[in-house]
Amino acid sequence: MPRRTPHPDPHETPTATDAVEAGFSETAAVTPAVPVVAASTTASADGTEGGADAPHRASPILLPSLAVTSFVLFATYSGLLGVLLPNQITAVDGAAKVGNLAIVTTVSFVFTLFAQPIVGAFSDRTRSRLGRRAPWMLGGAAVGAAFLLGLGGLRSIVWIAVFWVVIQVALNALQGPMSAIVADRFPRSRRGTASAMVGIGTMAGSAGGVIIAGALASNVGVGYTAFAVAVVVVAVAFVLLNRDASTRDAAREPFSLRAFLAGFWISPRRYPDFAWAFAGRFLFVLGYFVVFGFQLFILTDHIGMTLAEANGAIGLLSLAGLGTTIVAVPLSGWLSDRVGRRKVFVYAGSLFLAAGMLVPLVMPTLTGMIIMSAINGVGFGIYMACDTALMTEVLPGGGSAAAKDLGILNVATNIPQAMSPAVAGLLISSFGGYPALFVFAIVVVLLAILAIAPIRSVR
């Protein structure tokens, strides 16, 4: 697989704002992460080749539409996974809630590992009057909403898992094609602004979803219904307000499943820097999610709050993390571009996250959790802004379709996301409870620093 230079000028260094084109994906997760936008050249909806020289086809309303849609999508992710689903599972069997939550979320993550790149690949090839992305966005929203309406009435862990899998795959069918719209409709010179709007919507939604869900947690059925309606409304509004060109007459290149699947293998021998960057991201995401995904249970079982108190308090944690993340992202990105260095900022982000995880060990109170969230927000913001830049500078190429780049980067984050519930459940049940969870998170995040150190092509 030949190395792809992620910018038209081989002598131009990618900036942190450009880096969000290959950003930090969240597949059915609760993190304030910038969704992946393909860094490769893509075909525009009218059949012409896009990428850096893509025609400017973005309407003035597209930027706020991206922000609002990202807000609702990630509010749904965070509200469901962080509050409503744990409450529902607790109501089914409170004694086995940790293990059951781990089972349900792990199964869904396994099924959604490649949902975005696969749907993205098919959306690249879709030919319709509505364009390439809209049919998948509308279909994903409709299917996800339909199953959300039925989820609240279930009292079987098996059926909750089945419905949850379908919901997560459907929401990814909405998110994946939407992520590629930035590459489709914006020239490279404006993608930083467009991706920043997506990032702001994502971070605000991740916090707002937890707050909204916490207010509706006393009746999870009502909560699921509210998010289902919101997803359908924003998807329909996005498509109607930002109409794409018809692709019915556009040429369609032959599709090879074998070649598509082979694109997910990046040889560590040929691309050692990418392999180290992949390993560093893997460890960082694993450390982050083993704690983040169990925040509600940490508040009830480690801090000692009632479920009702925890449902109200979890919104405070999200706000604490959101505030510091919003400050850290642009500041660290600007500084990284200014000094021309990436690795030192990735180190700093990892150290902040490890320090934040230490606080609840020595201060097992709500105040300690709020401090942790604020410190973690700084660490995650620094990491998110600068690790994505680092990834674009070590990223191998090999395909002109957006889905391939999406898939490569999604695998770097989705596998540890898929593992984290099972790892957390094992640590809590077999290795001393929640203190073991925090210790594990600290260790693997510090290991992420060691994984980044051998990279030679990036300072």
Name the residue ranges covered by the structural domains of the chain: 16-248+267-452
- What lies within 8 Å, CB to CB, of 192 at 6+ separation is 15, 17, 18, 20
**What's residue 229's pLDDT?**
96
Torsions phi, psi for 109 (to 5 deg): -65, -40
Cα dihedral value 373, 375, 380, 386, nearest 10: 160
pLDDT tens figures, 86-116: 999 999 998 888 889 888 988 887 787 777 7
Cβ(352)–Cβ(384) under 8 Å? no
**What's residue 8's pLDDT?**
39
Q: How far apart are CA 323 and CA 373, in angstroms?
A: 10
Give the predicted TM-score (pTM) of the model: 0.66
**What's residue 347's pLDDT?**
92
**What's residue 405's pLDDT?**
52
**What's residue 129's pLDDT?**
80
Give 10-residue mean pLDDT values along the chain (459 residues).
Answer: 38 38 37 37 38 50 86 91 91 88 85 74 76 86 95 93 93 81 65 63 82 89 95 93 77 68 72 84 90 87 90 85 83 76 87 95 93 92 73 56 51 77 86 91 94 83
Q: How far apart are CA 459 and CA 440, in angstroms?
A: 28
**What's residue 396's pLDDT?**
66
Cβ(36)–Cβ(191) under 8 Å? no
**What's residue 194's pLDDT?**
64
CATH topology of domain 16-248+267-452: Growth Hormone; Chain: A; (1.20.1250)
**What's residue 39's pLDDT?**
34
Q: How far apart are CA 281 and CA 445, in angstroms?
A: 9
**What's residue 410's pLDDT?**
64
**What's residue 58's pLDDT?**
56
Q: Which residue reads 């989820």 in tokens?
A: 151
pLDDT tens figures, 74-88: 899 889 988 999 999
User: Three-state secondary structure along the chain?
Assistant: CCCCCCCCCCCCCCCHHHHHHHCCCCCCCCCCCCCCCCCCCCECCCCCECHHHCCCCCCCCHHHHHHHHHHHHHHHHHHHHHHHHHHHHHHHCHHHHHHHHHHHHHHHHHHHCCHHHHHHHHHHHCCCCCCCCHHHHHHHHHHHHHHHHHHCCCCCHHHHHHHHHHHHHHHHHHHHHHHHHHHHHCCHHHHHHHHHHHHHHHHHHHHHHHHHHHHHCCCHHHHHHHHHHHHHHHHHHHHHHCCCCCCCCCCCCCCCHHHHHHCCCCCCCCCHHHHHHHHHHHHHHHHHHHHHCCHHHHHHHHCCCCHHHHHHHHHHHHHHHHHHHHHHHHHHHHHHHHHCCCHHHHHHHHHHHHHHHHHHHHCCCHHHHHHHHHHHHHHHHHHHHHHHHHHHHHCCCCCCCHHHHHHHHHHHHHHHHHHHHHHHHHHHHHCCCHHHHHHHHHHHHHHHHHHHCCCCCCC
